[in-house]
Amino acid sequence: MVISFNRMETRVMNIEFIIPSYNRPHHLMCCVSSIMAQTVPNWKIHIIGDGSDEGIFDKVLQYCNGDDRVKFTNLPMRYNDWGFTPRNIGVEQATEEWVVTTGEDNYYVCSFVEEFLSVVNKDTKFVYSDMIHNHFFYRYFDCQPVLTRIDIGCFMVKTELAKQMKYRTDDYGADGMYVEEYINKFCQEFNNVRKISQALYVHN
């Protein structure tokens, strides 16, 4: 997929998905499958085992069938902090222009990557969409880039900017706090933030 900023400049961009995982290969398979089924090939996946058991990723590796866009790293110990240490490590190692940090039990509509990249221009620094949220039951969730109105996995950030930040707490509010800090630090102009008013992500 080629994204055109203007008549003089064209660029091909990729989204790198950072997925912490701990001994739940069936959940992970659903997440990975949804990314591999995207309508465009502009993605990479970095799965980071949070001190997972040896061999836990074998089935996932077989499913990916040698696709070099999928990378695995298993940390030597378990941090057990809602996956935020593995996410920080993944962001530090990310090589693509955009990064999405998510969870192994979440999954994506097949047009997620295409839709997200289609709204990017030279000023864009943060893109997010609405989602389906499973909080007691599945429902449409109208997201906003503030603490209580957004969830991990439904936003992407510029990798070069994300490397300057960290998830700073080990509870469920870390993703919302991260978004607010990122917006305040890097998105001072109106056109730095783009919203897609579609549910392109399912949070479990």
Higher pLDDT, 73 or 3: 73
Domain spanning 3-203, CATH class: alpha beta
The domain locations on the chain are 3-203
**Band of pLDDT at residue 10, cut at 50, 70 and 90:** low
pLDDT digit string (tens) for 103-146?
999 999 999 999 999 999 999 999 999 999 987 789 999 999 99
**Band of pLDDT at residue 173, cut at 50, 70 and 90:** confident
Is the CB of residue 97 less than 8 Å from the CB of residue 180? no
Cβ contacts of 15 within 8 Å, gap of 6 or more: 42, 43, 44, 96, 98, 99, 100, 113, 116, 117, 156
pLDDT digit string (tens) for 185-203?
999 998 999 999 999 999 9
The predicted structure's pLDDT at residue 115? 98
Q: What is the pTM of this model?
A: 0.92
The mean per-residue pLDDT over the stretch 75-100 comes to 95
pLDDT digit string (tens) for 23-76?
998 899 999 999 999 999 999 999 999 999 988 888 788 888 889 999 999 999
